[in-house]
Structure 1
Amino acid sequence: MLQVLGSAWALLLGLTLLMLGNGLQGTLLGVRGEIEGFSTFEMSVVMSAYFAGFLGGSRLAPEMIRRVGHVRVFAALGSFISAVLILYPAWANPWAWTAERMIIGFCFSGVYVTAESWLNNAATNENRGKALALYALVQVIGIMAAQGILLLGDPAGFILFIVPSILVSISFAPILLSVSPTPAFDSTRPMSLKELYRASPLSIVGVFLVGGAFSAQFGMAAVFGSQAGLTLPQISLFITMFYIGATIAIYPLGWISDRMDRRLLIAIEAIVAGIGGIIGFVLADSFTALLVAAFIIGAMTNPLYSLLLAYLNDILDHDQMAAGSAGMLFVNGLGAIGGPLLTGWVMTMTGPKGFFLFIAVLLLATAAYAFYRMTQRPSVAVDDTAAYAPVLMSATPVAVEAAQEWAYEVAEEAAEEAASGENGA
């Protein structure tokens, strides 16, 4: 781990600053929207636009990099991010914010693709797993730290919008001054939805539902907090609890998943997360209960994407994995676009606590479908499964494919060691 940190510290520092900027602007908009008097529906559209832009960026960024190179793409998209962050308070209109959020989502996706390709290129087969783990940790730490920055200014003013713009601008320096351009890469053509569903119905249905639950959590948590009357420090702590849960749970649950039927673990996690949503819905007047609910949902929801991807890899041949992951990312993106929109509708019908109701329904539906699929197909033998690789929901195709390749190599090495042991015996 220290070797990876020593060789890629500048890149990881730049990514941390990027995540600080991204995590801060997402929460800040939810709070500022309430101050500006935007309706729940308007804020749901604003928040959904980020995921629409992100999906578009993840699909178009590889072509942009092939045309003009990593450095130009990174610098250009980063400049747009800095500019849009300053435009938010200058033009406080929900439809202007929607367009700006879509641009921000597109640009952040392209920036992540570029940075992830640099990180993947710098890693070796021996340390790729550690590099991916550090990358996931940096993402979570950046978002959590951003919630603390939220307390340093007035969300009704300009300063808190200028801060993430500065952070994003500063992030260019350690990255661009420490890495060399990597060769252009080919984007992977996704499997058709019919092929992907035929290979693993649970993976495609599950990732669609979990994508909606995650985007609701990421996009609408601050909107819920503002409408529920939480103070700014309470909103900051509430959102942080989602990511504290994810940080604590993602690796232990991955270790467990390599030793049991992944479908059962997916169902158990989804049930526990659904219970967390029910706690938040029923006990919405208790701030302590909200923190518990956020912790449970974050701890269970964030690892579900990695589990669903790992289960798909258990089904597919090695040469199908990249195409399968591209299809999964697309389906996840579709679910993520709809998440904030439907959450806003439910909150309009039931009040702010509908935020938790929507998440609970999606996750309990995921659990029910996982149990159903267990009756339709035999489980994959534990010895034949690929290794679990932690991938956050915000990862782009570069990180996902790198994680898949590493997981496959680990599984191959384990199989070879087992075969050698049997031959030696």
Structure 2
Amino acid sequence: MINVLSSVWALLVGVVFIMLGNGMHFTLIALRGGIEGFSATELAIVTSGYFVGFLAGATQTPALIRKVGHVRVFAALGSFMSAGLIAFTLLAEPWAWTLLRIMVGFCMSGIYVTAESWLNDAATNENRGKILSAYMVAQTLGIIGAQGLLTLGDAATAALFIGASILVSVSFGPILLTVTPVPAAEVTRSMPLQRLARSAPLGTVGIFLLGNVYATQSGMGAVFGTQIGLSTDQIVLFIAMLFAGALVLQYPVGWLSDRMDRRILIAVTSALAVCFCLGGWAAGENQWFLMGAAFLSGGVTTPLYALLLAYANDSLDPTEMPAAAGGLVLTFGIGAILGPLLTGWAMEHFGPFAFWAYLATTFGMVTTYALYRMTRTEATPVEETDSYIGVLPTASPMVVEAAGAWAAEQGEEGPAS
């Protein structure tokens, strides 16, 4: 493992710093928005703006890389993102923040595409799984660490926004000084959604719904905490718990995934998530029950996303995986745009605890559809399934495609004992 990490350490260090800055800004939006008197609906629109930009960046960045190269794209997007983070403090208006979030989302997505193309180029078929797993851990630790940094300042001032900007700027040092350019990123044209839904219905519908869930948790979780009167320390702990659970639950879900009917595991995992969300709803303002609900409900989101990707790959021919990767990322992105908007509307009309009700409803839809699909098709024999690999919901089409190819190859060798 040490030999594997030695080739990508600079990239992983840079990614941690990027996620520290981006993770700070996600929670800061809700904290500062609450101070400025933004409504849940206004903050939901601001949150969705990020995912609009993120989706656009995933599709447009490969063309930019082909024109000017990885280094220039990476440096330019980083500069724009760093400037955008500071600009939030200059004009506290929902429309201005929405535009800035679109820009930051575009830049962040482009940074992912560029960094992940370097990562993919540095990997071989033998070590790709370990490198992708290390990349997932680096991203998650960055997001969790960002919450701790928010306790060092006051969201009412510009200091934390400036700190997030500095972290993003610093992150490019180890990457640009050590990583060499690679061939231009090539992302296959996305498979039409109608065709994707016919080929992998559960994977497509499930990933769309998980887009709703992930964007709601990451973008509206802090809004929920603000509206029920949690302190800043409690809010950042709540957000950290949403992501910390993934580090603990990723392995057991992956282990089970390679040894049983994935549809059953999808249904059971999402059904448990419904229970966790209902527990959060019933917890009221009890801090420790809220933290437990966040840890468990957030913890199953990332493994469930990777599980749905693995099941989608089981339904596809290997030649279809490159095009399907783009389609699945697009499907997730559409869900991520809609999730905060619907949650914000619900919180505006029914109160802040509609946050949990919306999550429970969405997870319940995943459970119901998984059970329905079990009545329509026979289970794929375990020995014929691809291997599971942890992939974050924010992964670019390039990583989704690479993970699918690796999983297919490993699946031919059978699950690890």
* TM-score bucket of the superposed structures, by smaller chain: over 0.9
The reply to whether residue 336 of structure 1 matches residue 336 of structure 2 is: yes
Whole-Å separation in 1 of the counterparts to 2:90 and 2:192: 43
Distance 2:317 2:286 in 1: 49
Partner in structure 2 of residue 392 of structure 1: 392
2-structure distance, mates of 1:312, 1:326: 13
Amino acid at match of 1:131: I
TM-score (norm 2): 0.98
Q: Give runs of aligned pairs for residues 337-376 of structure 1, distance below 5 A.
A: 337-376=337-376
Q: Distance in 2 between matches of 1:388 and 1:51?
A: 26
Q: Which residue in 1 is equivalent to 2:252?
A: 252
Counterpart code for 2:380: V
Give the match's secondary structure for 1:177: helix
- Decide whether the 8 Å contact of 2:192 with 2:327 is kept in 1: yes
- Equivalent position SS for 2:7: helix
Cα deviation, residue 414, structure 1: 3.5
Q: Is the 8 A contact 1:343 1:358 kept in 2?
A: yes
Distance of 2:372 and 2:413 partners within structure 1: 33
The alignment status of 1:180 with 2:166, answered yes or no, reads no
Structure 2 partner of 1:76: 76
* 1:6 counterpart residue number: 6
CA distance in 1, matches of 2:191, 2:157: 47
CA distance in 2, matches of 1:78, 1:186: 21
For 2:88, what is the secondary structure of its paired residue?
A: helix
- Structure 1 residue 413 displacement after superposition: 3.3
Partner of 2:140: 140
- Three-state SS of the structure 1 residue aligned to 2:89 is helix
Whether the aligned pair in 2 keeps the contact of 1:257 and 1:265 (CA below 8 Å) is: yes
* Alignment partners' CA distance in 2, 1:138 and 1:158: 27
Match for 1:240: what amino acid? A
Task: Kindly report which structure 2 residues correspond to 1:101-250, keeping only aligned pairs within 5 A, or say none.
Answer: 101-250=101-250
Q: SS of the counterpart of 2:178? A: coil
Contact 1:63/1:187 (8 A) holds in 2 = no
Aligned residue pairs, count: 417
Taking the aligned partners of 2:233 and 2:172, their CA distance within structure 1 comes to 30
How big is the shift at 1:284?
A: 2.1
1:26 corresponds to: 26
Q: Deviations over 1:75-106 (max 9, x none)?
A: 00000001001000111111100000000000
- Aligned residue type for 1:258: D
* Alpha carbons 1:269, 1:301 under 8 Å: kept: no
- Whether contact under 8 Å (1:213, 1:336) holds in the other structure is yes
Distance (Å, rounded) in 1 between the aligned partners of 2:325 and 2:264: 21
Runs of 5+ in structure 1 lacking a partner? Answer: 419-425
- Rounded to whole Å, the distance in 1 between the matches of 2:299 and 2:27 is 19
TM superposition shift of 1:238: 0.6
Distance (whole Å) between structure 2 residues aligned to residue 160 and residue 223 of structure 1: 17
Q: Is the 8 A contact 2:383 2:414 kept in 1?
A: no
Cα offset for 1:257?
Answer: 0.4
Corresponding residue of 2:295? 295
Cα distance in 2 for residues equivalent to 1:68 and 1:134: 29
2:273 maps to 1:273: yes
- 8 Å Cα contact 1:200-1:315 kept in structure 2: yes
The one-letter code of the counterpart of 1:164 is A
Query: Counterparts of 1:405 and 1:2 in 2: how far apart (Å)?
Result: 24
CA RMSD, Structure 1 to Structure 2 (Å) = 1.3
Shift of 1:412: 2.5
Correspondence for 1:36: 36
- The residue identity in structure 1 corresponding to 2:170 is I
1:421 aligns to what? none
SS of the residue corresponding to residue 377 of structure 1 reads coil
Which segments of 5 or more consecutive residues in structure 2 lack a partner in the other structure?
A: none
Q: Deviating runs (4+, > 2 A) in structure 1?
A: 412-415
Structure 1 residue 126 displacement after superposition? 1.1
Cα distance in 1 for partners of 2:405, 2:38 equals 45
1:284 and 1:210 map into 2 onto residues whose CA distance is: 25
Letter matched to residue 257 of structure 1 = S
SS at match of 2:82: helix
* Residue number in structure 2 paired with 1:262: 262
Shift of residue 43, structure 1, vs aligned partner:
0.4
CA contact (8 A) 2:116 2:399 kept: yes
TM-superposed CA distance for 1:193, in Å, is 1.4
**Cα offset for 1:185?**
2.8
Offset from partner CA, 1:138-167 (integer Å, 9 cap, x none): 010000000000000000001100001000
Q: Is the 8 A contact 1:47 1:219 kept in 2?
A: yes
The residue number in structure 2 matching 1:310 is 310
1:288 Cα deviation from its structure 2 partner? 1.2
**What code does the residue aligned with 2:176 have?**
L
Matched, 1:48 2:44: no
Deviations 1:171-196 (A, max 9, x none): 11100000100001321111111111
Q: Is the 8 A contact 2:121 2:182 kept in 1?
A: yes
Distance 1:286 1:305 in 2: 29
Q: Identical aligned pairs, as a percentage?
A: 53
Partner residue, 1:423: none
